[in-house]
Amino acid sequence: MLSRVLVSPAILEPLGRTLRWLLSLRDSQGRIICPQHRVEHTGKSAGVIGLALALRRYDPSADPEELLSVAAQQARRLVANLVNEPNSPCYTFRPGRHDPFNCSNSVIDGGACADALAQLVREAGDELSQEDRDSFQAASLLHARTYLRYAVLDKGIPAQRAWGLAGLAGAWSLENDEVLAKAAIEAVGVLEGIQFSDGSYPYHPIEWGAEHPGSADASAFYQSRVTGFLIEALQLLGRDPKDPIFSPPIRRGLSFLRALQGPDGRKCGLVEAKPWYWGAHYEVASHPFDVFTLARGHALFGSVELAVAATRAFRAWVARLSPEGVPSSHAPEDGEGESYQCPVFWAGHAAWIARCVPELDRAMAVADTYEEPDPAGSLDLQVAYYPDADLARLEDAGVVAWVRGARPPGNVHHGSPHGGLLQVVRKSDGKDLLSRRRHDAAAEAEWTSASGGFSLSRGLASGKKELRFSLWLARTDLRAGETGRALSRPLRALSKGVMEFGSSACSTAFDRKPSLDLLSDGVRLQSGLAHRDGTPATEARFERTYRLAGDGLLVEERLLQPTAGGNLAYHIPKDAKDIERSDKTLRYRLS
């Protein structure tokens, strides 16, 4: 008999809403068909299994038999999509890489499907028919033995390897196959080896085949996946993530993930190797992975900060969930455009919140008793520095701010688009105190100028390949019936990826090689002006200091060396207070 554990309805209600929306997309064959891409995203609809299992276990108002039926029906869909690759011993879950409109690949879909099937067998195997149980178990193991055991060691993107690792470990949990265990533990070690010492991961390492150096930048979107999947895989393999053999990369990964998060639960999305994915300067689509990783991290290591971060991530995700259960990547008012991924992706990922319901419930109980320091006279100044990302996080009782120094080269699709003072968020109400748009050449709190004329060669060097890529993106839009959006893709790539990179505009935000020095209460940057591609533009030099005051951020901008043309401009934030000016110095407060 199923025994239920009481947890907060505030967790269960949005999960139930999301599941209902996913199920509303089923056709007569039980396939969940994406309204945008018009395909069955098998690896995402696999999330129905985890959502249904969690609700039947924790929701006292749910019908457990109905939810088990929902999970089993979806599992049969996964098995039906397990196909032997032509001229290969591998069995993979279609569509995977075979349909470009699936917007995924075989290791992501396969890891998700093998993991979901294994979870269903582990948690409800005794309640399934013998035929279903055997079928689900066989499919998970077959995929792991013929594909995942290899993919976790040869895919170029760490987050993809880690997702495959979770599926591999799930399959192992059904049958203790030493070959699978050996591949899984080797994959754990390889992922630790590619992690930077500050806890960040490159999205696509150069040594693993990245075509553009910006792809090797850190990624706010992907950071939690590697750490969370490592935790889950180790526990499924019967290993303790707290063991000193395994815990260092997990602790480092948790630290960097928490450093990215602001007081409103959103992460600083301007630290992003893959900015083309998103229609705003931040996203909450990755928050289900954040919630799982932070809540499970709190359960393992007991940090109050992790409990608070898990709670904030969850509430930020729920705040952007529609009444019908459709997830969003960002609020409409913050949008610069549409995000590439679709709500079916984001809804499927909610299964990772479902997987940590009791841990999240405990984390929320801890977080709701946590008291923020009083801004009045507070001396609680926190300056954290992550050297590989060259990222500083500044926090006091009034604000959280991020400052970035050097970062990899970038173009319109690859690499973090903005350096210097990235973001300042007020803790009392979560307000962004800087107006931020990724393509804004005249961003607040930055110096700008112009240097030379338009350079087509510089623009094409940055954007020629991206023009071709925009045509591929346009195909997806056409499949979704978005003709206007499809037509705008190449035009936008030409405008943002070629013309803007070739323009004479330059900014301190585009300097990719400033020097960053730590202070006891903040940081100091030595910066210059650069064109959007990072090439130095003029001889102007600046000393830029950001200090915590206990209740806000003190900014001092000092002009060390002017530009010959004298056409410098500084864009004072509209929320700046206590502004002081002199000949070569500007000071103000953000609070």
Tell whether 515 and 404 lie within a shared domain: yes
Tell whether 448 and 493 lie within a shared domain: no
> Are 204 and 216 a contacting pair, CB within 8 Å?
yes
Question: Phi first, then psi: what are they for 462, rounded to 5°?
Answer: -85, -35
4 assigned to some structural domain: no
From residue 158, how far is each of 134, 188, 201 by CA, in Å? 32, 11, 8
How would you class 254 by CB atoms within 10 Å of its CB: exposed for 0-12, middle for 13-18, buried for 19 or more? buried
Write down the pLDDT at residue 379: 72
Write down the pLDDT at residue 479: 79
Tell whether 409 and 522 lie within a shared domain: yes
Q: What is the pTM of this model?
A: 0.97
Write down the pLDDT at residue 6: 86
Tell whether 86 and 126 lie within a shared domain: yes
Tell whether 178 and 290 lie within a shared domain: yes
526 assigned to some structural domain: yes
Query: Residue for token digits 């929701």?
Result: 59
Residues 6+ positions from 500 with CB-CB distance below 8 Å: 412, 439, 441, 459, 532
8 assigned to some structural domain: no
7 assigned to some structural domain: no
Any bridge partners for residue 517, and if so which?
524
Alpha-carbon distance of 477 to 491, in angstroms, equals: 14
CATH code of the domain in which 194 resides: 1.50.10.10
Tell whether 492 and 512 lie within a shared domain: no
9 assigned to some structural domain: no
Tell whether 499 and 580 lie within a shared domain: no
Tell whether 416 and 511 lie within a shared domain: yes
1 assigned to some structural domain: no
Write down the pLDDT at residue 325: 98
Cis peptide before 95 (omega within 30 of 0): yes
Total number of domains in the chain: 3
How would you class 131 by CB atoms within 10 Å of its CB: exposed for 0-12, middle for 13-18, buried for 19 or more? exposed
Write down the pLDDT at residue 520: 96
113 assigned to some structural domain: yes
> Of 474, 503, 532, which residue constitutes the final position of a domain?
503
26 assigned to some structural domain: yes
> Are 570 and 563 a contacting pair, CB within 8 Å?
no
Write down the pLDDT at residue 438: 67
Alpha-carbon distance of 414 to 401, in angstroms, equals: 23
Helix axes 247-260, 287-301, angle to 10 degrees: 130
Question: Phi first, then psi: what are they for 314, rounded to 5°?
Answer: -65, -45
Tell whether 180 and 287 lie within a shared domain: yes
Tell whether 405 and 308 lie within a shared domain: no
Range of the domain at 480: 456-503
The one-letter amino acid code at 490 reads P
Please list the pLDDT of the chain residue by residue as tens digits (591 residues): 566 778 999 999 999 999 999 999 999 999 999 999 999 999 999 999 999 999 999 999 999 999 999 999 999 999 999 999 999 999 999 999 999 899 999 999 999 999 999 999 999 999 999 999 999 999 999 999 999 999 999 999 999 999 999 999 999 999 999 999 999 999 999 999 999 999 999 999 999 999 999 999 999 999 999 999 999 999 999 999 999 999 999 999 999 999 999 999 999 999 999 999 999 999 999 999 999 999 999 999 999 999 999 999 999 999 999 999 999 999 998 988 889 899 999 999 999 999 999 999 999 999 999 877 776 656 789 999 999 999 999 999 999 999 999 999 999 999 999 999 999 999 999 999 998 876 676 789 999 999 989 999 999 999 999 999 898 888 888 877 888 888 998 999 999 999 999 999 999 999 999 999 999 999 999 999 999 999 999 889 999 999 999 999 999 999 999 886 668 999 999 999 999 999 899 999 999
Q: Residue 292, Cα to own-chain centre: how many angstroms?
A: 13
Write down the pLDDT at residue 283: 97
Tell whether 80 and 208 lie within a shared domain: yes
Tell whether 479 and 550 lie within a shared domain: no
Query: Residue for token digits 């009034």?
Result: 398
Q: Count how many residues are written for the chain.
A: 591
Q: Which helix (H) or strand (E) holds 10?
A: helix 9-23
Alpha-carbon distance of 41 to 47, in angstroms, equals: 10
Alpha-carbon distance of 308 to 104, in angstroms, equals: 32
